[in-house]
Amino acid sequence: MIKAGIIGGAGYTAGELIRLLIHHSKVDINFVFSTSNAGNNVSKIHQDLIGSTELEFSSKINPDVDVLFLCLGHGNSKSFLEENSFSHATKIIDLSNDFRLTKDEVLNGKTFIYGLPELNKEAIKQSIYIANPGCFATAIQLALLPLAEAKLLKDDVHVNAVTGATGAGTSLSTTTHFTWRDNNFSHYKAFTHQHLGEINQTVNQLQSDFNSDINFMPNRGNFSRGIFATLYTKYDGTLEDAKALYSKFYRDAAFTFISDEDIHLKQVVNTNKCFLHLHKHEDKLLVTSIIDNLLKGASGQAVQNMNLMYGFKETEGLQLKANYF
């Protein structure tokens, strides 16, 4: 058994991470750090865990844990690691955006590998430090990777994606309050969302000559969790060519699947899966991508990365059934 520590234990991603790890056959949770909740049962905050764990939040950190998960707000992981020291043997998986870009990947000699398994699986297996991808970035990149690897992105890419309310975190604001979100729909950060940086970085990693725009329109949906993303771009091949390309690219992927049928969010909510659907219209290829923003878009992918880092079965602790009905 490996010992795991969690920093920032009160948020949605931490709650899902705890839920996954207490049922993981290879992991023992050593501590869940939260100064504001120290001494309280974890289930007092994450009430779905009542009866599942007697863990308490801790104000102390064990610097010798085997793996450390950082579930801090964006911008806080870097300062936390600068202020706290851990064993050289401690593997670190950061769920914020602090280390995802190449310009930010090194901190005090620690080099963070971008943790998208469908892209960097072999590097993840050899790594000590992981920058877990963003939720929108995961859904969109999984829709683009096969085209980029085949050097087939030759025009602008247009993306429209909707996320659930949990994507905004636990802190209430005008746009996350139930009375605003219910029966409502809106876009935000049009063309400027922070995940565009890592998306463009990945596309250029696979297709260095890509210099068109990725036009991304993020939307707020009136549901709790999940991301439904559609993107289209010019494509000269046939639909059968595209399906063959995607099937070949994801032939060894543990959680990414191509569906011949139209897809919808309930197929993936509460799972670590990504479903993709392809549609050809005239000279355009439409790709639909769906994930659970808290699992494949955050905590599930973090556990997937941990499994790869330790040589565990990639699906260990992640064989979850969707909340289909």
Query: Using an 8 Å Cβ cutoff, are 45 and 108 in contact?
Result: no
| Lookup result for tokens 């975190």 | 169
Tell me, yes or no, if 71 is annotated catalytic.
no
Closest to 167 (Cα-Cα) out of 99, 223, 216: 223
Closest to 301 (Cα-Cα) out of 267, 266, 274, 262: 274
Query: Using an 8 Å Cβ cutoff, are 72 and 92 in contact?
Result: no
Q: Which residues contact 83 (CB under 8 A, 6 or more apart)?
A: none
- Could you give the C-alpha distances from 125 to 19, 115, 129, 193, 253, in angstroms and in order? 24, 10, 11, 30, 15
Lookup: tokens for 163: 């996320």
Catalytic residue positions? 135
